[in-house]
Structure 1
Amino acid sequence: MSDAAKEHVSVVVVGGGQAGISTSYWLKQRRIDHLVFERKTAGHVWSDARWDTFCLVTPNWQCDLPGHPYNGPDPDGFMVKDEIVAYVRAFVAKVAPPIREGVSVDRVTKRPEGGFMVTTSEGDYTAAEIVVASGGYTIPIVPRMAERLPATIAQIHSEQYRNPQQLPEGGVLVAGSGQSGAQIAEDLHLAGRKVHLAVGQAPRCARFYRGRDVVTWLADMGYYEMTVDEHPLREGVRDNTNHYVTGRDGGRDIDLRRFAKEGMELYGVLEDFSDGRLKFRENLAESLAFADKTYNGINAAIDKHIAETGVEAPPPSVYEPVWEPEAERGTLELEGSGITSIVWCIGFLPDFKWLDASVFNGAGRPMHKRGVTTEEGVSFIGLPWLNTWGSGRFGAVGKDAEHVVSKIAERLSMRRPALGLAV
């Protein structure tokens, strides 16, 4: 395609999830021409990469996409998968973004004369600004040890898990105890499957405490307004594993110790497979204690808030372990264990290899200030803790998108004042 034939837009948004569509909402509000490229369909992750019993772990009232807050009958409840899909689809329909679905962005490079060349599966475009809204959960992580497991063991990643019935009969090893791992382990456990869970250093929190949802308490305490710069861990908070808890059946705690009492087998971190044995780090007791310490620490912070504000609430409590491992199990003979399948729940990696820009640190992570990078014209949106806890969620992604778009509008108006863009 010749230079003259290339279509030019002011802004190209890469990714059509809630982050990309929120960005489109604010670009439309400012009448800035743009295109959104989505390699599948808008918001597809909620329908294509979640299990059947998936639900939100935060109350519905926290769903506040721009121009599209939750307005259903149960603000304190937790939307289930079909309701989430409907909520996102309604948002997309309301925004009516200029989106190219089924189109992948293969390469973005800087042009000598300014702006960017955007190479896509349907041809080339040029743009003054690039907004990366593809998220931080793109490439499923499966360890290389998986290649050495017997072919008789069915293996899937958490994004492929739908329900217990899709797995062969027999025991299931769930590797990882973050939000997905803990909830999938629970889903299998409730279905009567024999579950073996490799537990990592994931924190947990209570669903309800002293008469209210813990999320509501934390909102009152200003936690969700805390920026990454104000957090004690600073940018290190972006590396934190999310707390495991569930909104299932109206919401409840996830207590791995209780599951163990009911027959779930718990181990430390899965580290290797060799000589027919699964090998685990002997850190189960430590990991369970860490999760409980976090649980009680959050509740103690709520106790302090209640004491300082004088809010009336039921009395405090402290979680006491209901089960302790008798001994650490460092190995498990796979043959004879009854395990016939493994669900890998050890996370995702971002995929930014298509972006040729000097915005990444030594670990390959984007360097930015609330999504704005030092590379003029390159912005990010929708990443975990981009600015606050809710940046990668329905709760605050719209506010971050508004901020990013305001900076884009300022740059465009300085470059092309004749357009008369609002700032």
Structure 2
Amino acid sequence: MTAETLSIDTLVIGAGQAGVAMSEHLSKLGVPHLVLERDRIAERWRTCRWDSLVANGPAWHDRFPGMEFEGLDPDAFAPKDQVADYFETYARKFDAPIRTGVEVTGVARRTGRPGFTVETSDGTIEAGRVVVATGPFQRPVIPPIAPRDPHLTQLHSADYRNPAQLPEGAVLVVGAGSSGVQIADELQRAGRKVYLSVGAHDRPPRAYRNRDFCWWLGVLGEWDKEVVTPGREHVTIAVSGAYGGQTIDFRRLAHQGMTLVGVTRSFERGVVTFERDLADNLKRGDDNLMALLDAADAYVARTGIDLPEDPQARVIPPDPECVTHPLAELDLAQAGVNTIIWATGYALDFGWLHVNAFDDNGKPQHQRGVSKEPGLYFLGLPWLSRRASSFIWGVWHDAKHIADHIVTQRKYLAYRDASQRQQDARRPQGADAPSTAHDESRARKVNELGVN
């Protein structure tokens, strides 16, 4: 790619679940394209997650429509490496034109003509369209309150692998969404003393009345909700498929020895202070749980579907000591805390996109992934078109919409008016030989890249 600038109709950036889904739809529609991935296919699943991670949804749900997980019970939760293998196998199934080990460093609008100039670690590409399929987990965020203490080991959940990785001693886990609570649970099972900082969250049942919560969100229309409820844009969800899948119950974890604390507020001279909001945050999670159970019961009553009652799902354990008498502060040294794990999420990072596609806060402006910048698309972002957009099966459906849009735009650009068609008809035979030669040269170059 370095010897000559490559031209391609559509360039897809990223070969995770979004990029693979995009490539499948473009391939089916006959759109020439190339997918660039800076690492390996589905690399984030392999190396940016902890060792024991499994998918948060069952195998029958967290997959693409065209292929099941081989050798896995549909109700089981796929281990992370099996998820990565799934996407690699899926890409091979339709011979996806993916090139790995190439990082995109810049994308800019071409001057005076359609398309984009894309700078990569392996040369320049001219692309008619660009699909940004880099997903939502781009830049791990550690808040500025993190203490500057060389005696403390601090890492983001993206860098956590297993308990043996950490120095001896207690651990403070900040953030109680799916990542934080699963890591805290694993550390406690490994014999560590764990303090878990719990903020506002949703706490759905893992299963209710013999149906996984993914099923309930489907039949209740929650996956297809197109607008997030105001004020709930960044609420974390505490759900897990670990250990066969079970409902997250913070009080149960506390009764087993974990210490729950409120939102982490500040650090000063080795002492961390917490907000006095733990009980309120737990109640909010309880309310979310009960609301979903109520909606499920109403669905059963309305439809007459035969599902067994599940009264145990509504049992809330008594408040443990750490909830009735919450810690306002904690001296880390006295408590033996040598490690802080920041399960505090990710930020988008589009600094390499030099295009007019963002609002004043740097947020992508788009409609169902179709950017305000003509020819540029976003895929895999939360709430791209609906609640399911950043999940495996949801991104597949969003990719189909974007692929259809690309095909429509290609048809418009391919239009020739009546006078141009008459000129083409009068052109002597062989007059297009130079163009054909150019096309053959380009085809050879594209084949060298493994592009179909």
TM-score, normalization by structure 2: 0.86
Residue 421 of structure 1 is matched in structure 2 by none
CA apart distance, 1:66: 5.4
The corresponding residue for 2:115 is: 115
- Tell me how far apart the structure 1 counterparts of residues 67 and 299 of structure 2 sit (CA, whole Å): 31
Which residue of structure 1 lines up, in the alignment, with residue 139 of structure 2?
139
Q: Deviations over 1:234-262 (max 9, x none)?
A: 7x66x233421221222111111111112
Q: CA–CA distance in 2 between the matches of 1:64 and 1:134? A: 18
Identify if the C-alpha distance between structure 1 residues 59 and 280 changes in structure 2 by more than 3 Å, giving closer, same or farther.
same
**Superimposed CA distance per residue, residues 392-413 of structure 1 (whole angstroms, 9 cap, x where no aligned partner):** 1211211111110110111112
CA distance in 1, matches of 2:136, 2:80: 21
The whole-number CA distance in structure 2 between the counterparts of 1:405 and 1:211 is: 37
What SS is found at the alignment partner of 1:408? helix
1:315 aligned residue: 309
1:314 positional shift: 2.8
Distance (whole Å) between structure 2 residues aligned to residue 163 and residue 153 of structure 1: 17
Measured in 2, the distance between the counterparts of 1:159 and 1:361 equals 28
- The answer to whether the Cα contact below 8 Å between 2:210 and 2:308 also exists between their aligned partners in 1 is yes
Query: 1:275 and 2:269 equivalent?
Result: yes
Question: In 2, Cα distance between the equivalents of 1:135 and 1:66?
Answer: 20
Give the 5 Å matches for 1:207-246: 207-224=206-223, 226-229=224-227, 233=229, 239-246=233-240
In the alignment, does 2:15 pair up with 1:21?
no
| Native 8 Å contact 2:168 2:338 kept in 1 | yes
Does the Cα contact within 8 Å between 2:49 and 2:161 map onto a contact in 1? yes
Query: In the aligned structure 2, how far is the partner of 1:413 from the partner of 1:328?
Result: 63
Q: Distance in 1 between matches of 2:188 and 2:14?
A: 35
1:22–1:66 contact (8 Å) kept in structure 2: no
For 1:394, the equivalent position in structure 2 comes to: 392
1:192 positional shift: 1.5
- Residue 378 (structure 2) aligns with: 380
| 1:218-237 deviation per Cα after TM superposition (whole angstroms, max 9, x unaligned) | 3222322x2414x5x27x66
CA distance in 1, matches of 2:363, 2:210: 40
SS of the residue 1:128 aligns to: strand
- CA drift of 1:281 comes to 1.4
**Residue type of the alignment partner of 1:308:** R
Alignment of structure 1 residues 323-342 onto 2, 5 Å: 323-324=319-320, 325-342=323-340
Distance in 2 between the 1:352 and 1:223 partners?
Answer: 29
Q: Distance in 2 between matches of 1:286 and 1:368?
A: 36
Q: Is the 8 A contact 2:61 2:214 kept in 1?
A: no
Three-state SS of the structure 2 residue aligned to 1:300 is helix
Offset of residue 380 of structure 1? 0.7
Partner SS for 1:145:
coil
| Offset, 1:329 | 2.0
Map 1:82-101 → 2, pairs under 5 A:
82-101=81-100
* Equivalence for 1:128: 128
Is the CA contact 1:258–1:323 (under 8 Å) kept in the aligned structure 2? no
CA contact (8 A) 1:64 1:398 kept: no
Deviations 1:358-403 (A, max 9, x none): 2212321112121112221011111112122322121121111111
Contact conserved, 1:218 with 1:302, CA < 8 A, in 2? no
3-state DSSP of counterpart to 1:118: strand
Aligned length: 411
The AA in structure 1 aligned to 2:265 is E
For residue 389 of structure 1, what is the amino acid of its counterpart? R
Maintained 8 Å contact 1:292/1:319 = no
Q: CA deviation at 1:272?
A: 1.5
**Residue deviations 1:260-296, cap 9 Å, x none?**
1121111111121112211211111111111111111
Q: What is the match of residue 359 of structure 2?
A: 361
Where do residues 255-274 of structure 1 align in structure 2 (5 Å cutoff)? Answer: 255-274=249-268
Q: How does 1:278-317 map to 2 (within 5 A)?
A: 278-315=272-309, 317=311
Native 8 Å contact 1:61 1:76 kept in 2: yes
Q: Which amino acid aligns with 1:255?
A: D
**Offset, 1:417:** 4.3
Gap change, CA 1:95 and 1:48, over 3 Å in 2: farther
| Segments ≥4 residues shifted beyond 4 Å | none
Aligned to 1:352: 350
Q: In the alignment, which residue of structure 2 is the partner of 1:247? A: 241
Q: Write the distance in 2 (CA, Å) between the matches of 1:250 and 1:275.
A: 42
**Contact 1:49–1:159 (CA under 8 A) maintained in structure 2:** yes
Please tell me the residue identity of whatever aligns with 2:38: R
Q: Is the 8 A contact 2:72 2:78 kept in 1?
A: no
Q: Tell me if the contact between 2:177 and 2:237 (Cα under 8 Å) persists in the aligned partners.
A: yes
Preserved contact between residue 63 and residue 70 of structure 1 (Cα < 8 Å): no
Percent identity reads 37
- Residue 51 of structure 1 is matched in structure 2 by 50
Instruction: Give the equivalent residue in structure 2 for 1:61.
Output: 60
Deviations 1:150-209 (A, max 9, x none): 212111111111111111111011110011001111111111211011111111111121
Shift in Å at residue 323 of structure 1? Answer: 1.7
Q: CA deviation at 1:316?
A: 5.0
CA contact (8 A) 1:272 1:280 kept: yes
Secondary structure of residue in 2 paired with 1:62: coil
Q: Are positions 1:170 and 2:169 aligned together?
A: yes
Structure-2 residue corresponding to 1:39: 38
User: SS at the partner of 2:353?
Assistant: coil
> Over the residues paired in the alignment, what is the CA RMSD in angstroms?
2.0
- Contact 2:117/2:125, CA 8 A, preserved across alignment: yes
SS in 2 for 1:196: strand
The letter for the 1-side match of 2:183 is: I
